Amino acid sequence: MTVTLDQIQAPIAAEMEEFEQKFRQSMQTKQLLLDKIMGYIVKRKGKQIRPMFVFFTAKISGGDPLPEASFRGAALIELLHTATLVHDDVVDESNYRRGFFSINALWKNKIAVLVGDYLLSKGLLLSLENDDYELLKIVSNAVKELSEGELLQIEKARRLDITEDVYFDIIRQKTASLIASCCAVGAASAGADKETIERARLFGEKVGMAFQIKDDLFDFGTAEIGKPVGIDIKEKKMTLPLIYALQQADWLTKRRVIFNVKNNDGRKDRVQAVIKFVKESGGLEYAIQVMERYRNEALEILRTFPESASRTSLEQLINYTIEREK
């Protein structure tokens, strides 16, 4: 039987509700336009997976009941992460985010950039006003990694010469660093020692790696989701199934596939040819194996923490993120 997100969240349901109210209040401002935009951002919140990772990790690291610092840590991550998403939509000229209009689509680029800056400074102030230097250091490092990962991907996309090692570097920085920071912030906010914080961070990193590989698999039509099939190929992104398939191919096949990726121009036949090649070369099976390896490594680290309802929920949360169909 599949466990729902509500069931996973049960041990921290009250804390999640409290966090939502606190976060909503903290987003209010006297500047009318800004207040309107902040209200829009709060309304569009997703599954709230990031605060869940913070709270569960805080609890298994000795923070039960949750200290105030855990709420601030979760808010800091939401603020800084939302700032990067708002800026991303401007850079990508994207009009939608999770099925809603993006900030730049509704209020234009200049306002979107300023809103991103505002969220960033709000996060910094939240930490500085409460002397949460350790939390700020963890999250700022994640934002730095995220930017480096994006730039590395852009640089490599031009030449399409991504090896597995480079791919892992990119997803470690772009995706895994954020979940890793959620878990490290959770442990740090509970007053855990350096060794425990690092263990929590590494646990989050492994989950993030598995999560991104799962996301890459969706591009090959492994499930019906919000992301259109073949979007990564159209955007010339080299993902693990494709990288593996190319490694197995002879020189001529490799050249033909890379030509189709480079010059697909959104053409359905060329994108479909790449998808067919990856499926026939065992690229999906290989990526699933690697994803499972990261999942198992994450579970191994998690089981070094004391048994509790929160640890069980974290285990379910890992499986939820890996087995999700969207």
Domains of the chain: 5-323 (1.10.600.10)
Residue 226: its pLDDT value, please?
Answer: 42
CB 204 within 8 A of CB 176: yes
Round the CA-based radius of gyration of the chain to a whole number and report it: 20
DSSP collapsed to 3 states, 18-37: HHHHHHHHHCCCCCHHHHHH
Helix (H, G, I), strand (E, B) or coil at 280: helix
Give the amino acid at 313. S
Give the amino acid at 284. L
Tokens 């169909």: give the residue.
Answer: 325
Residue 224: its pLDDT value, please?
Answer: 45
H-helix segments, the chain: 5-9, 13-26, 32-43, 49-60, 68-91, 103-129, 133-159, 164-171, 177-189, 194-218, 231-234, 240-248, 251-262, 268-280, 283-302, 309-323
pLDDT in tens, 215-235: 889 888 755 444 456 778 777
Give the amino acid at 242. L
Give the amino acid at 308. S
In sequence order, what are the residues at sequence separation of 6 or more whose Cβ sits closer than 8 angstroms to the Cβ of residue 271? 230, 233, 234, 260, 264
Residue 308: its pLDDT value, please?
Answer: 94
Peptide bond into 65 cis (omega under 30): yes
Q: Is 42 exposed, middle or buried (0-12, 13-18, 19+ CB in 10 A)?
A: middle
**Nearest-angstrom CA–CA distance, 280 and 212:** 22
Whether the predicted model's global pTM rises above the 0.85 cut = yes
**Nearest-angstrom CA–CA distance, 130 and 144:** 22
Closest C-alpha among 299, 298, 88 to residue 209 = 298
Please report, in tens digits, the pLDDT of each residue of the chain (326 residues total).
578 888 999 999 999 999 988 888 888 888 899 888 888 888 777 778 899 999 999 999 998 888 999 999 999 999 888 888 888 888 877 777 766 788 888 888 898 898 889 889 999 998 999 999 999 999 999 999 998 998 888 888 777 778 899 999 999 999 999 999 999 999 999 999 999 999 999 999 999 999 999 988 988 875 544 445 677 877 778 899 999 999 988 899 988 888 888 877 767 888 888 889 999 999 999 999 999 999 999 999 999 999 999 999 999 999 988 887 66
Tokens 């991504």: give the residue.
Answer: 162
CB 57 within 8 A of CB 301: no
